[in-house]
């Protein structure tokens, strides 16, 4: 059985990308919107995802409930391990670190989050959709144990 692959960076490696760390700390709705657009393959725009995040943040302060579902969705897409603990607990206790980690994970898989979904598709090089291999395709291609990110990563031109 194929085991989940580890995240490419740790939860507390926020300062590995200082620019994103600052953006996420001061305006997490932008980081979340960018993540949501990529994870939803363009069906949710950065503006809509970020706006909804901001609305939930301002009205209830429970935006972590919304964002933890995207972490779960992202883990499912890339077959990542649930670490260091449950997704909602990570977002409840370390929202900024969790969003920064998700941003770095997508970036390390070849996505330019500032371009959005369409921008990544138009970059060529296999298109953004290449980063979303399914587990069965990876398993049948003999990539057991390597994880999806090594099997199908969109590469920058």
pLDDT in tens, 83-111: 888 999 999 999 999 999 999 999 999 99
Q: Provide the 3-class DSSP secondary structure of residue 15.
A: helix
Place of tokens 């941003």: 103
pLDDT band at 124 (very low <50, low <70, confident <90, very high): low
Entry pTM: 0.79
Q: φ, ψ for residue 31 (rounded to 5)? A: -60, -45
Is the pLDDT at 127 greater than 50? The verdict is: no
The separation between CA 107 and the C-alpha centre of its own chain, rounded to angstroms, equals 8
pLDDT tens column, 131-140: 554 433 333 3
* CA atoms of 68 and 57, how far apart (whole Å): 13
Is the pLDDT at 27 greater than 80? The verdict is: yes
* CA atoms of 94 and 92, how far apart (whole Å): 6
Answer whether 118's CB lies under 8 Å from 42's CB. Answer: yes
């Amino acid at each position: 059985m194929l085991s989940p692959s580890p995240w490419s960076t740790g939860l507390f490696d926020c300062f590995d990308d200082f620019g994103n760390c600052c953006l996420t700390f001061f305006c997490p709705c932008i980081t979340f919107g960018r993540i949501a657009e990529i994870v939803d393959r363009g069906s949710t725009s950065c503006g809509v995802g970020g706006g909804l995040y901001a609305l939930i943040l301002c009205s209830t302060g429970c935006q972590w409930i919304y964002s933890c579902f995207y972490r779960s969705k992202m883990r499912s897409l890339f077959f990542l391990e649930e670490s260091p603990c449950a997704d909602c607990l990570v977002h409840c206790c370390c929202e900024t670190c969790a969003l920064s980690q998700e941003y770095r994970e997508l970036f390390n898989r070849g996505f330019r989050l500032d371009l959005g979904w369409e921008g990544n598709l138009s970059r060529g090089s296999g298109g953004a959709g290449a980063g979303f291999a399914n587990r069965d395709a990876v398993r049948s291609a003999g990539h057991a144990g390597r994880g999806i990110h090594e099997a199908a990563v969109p590469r920058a031109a």
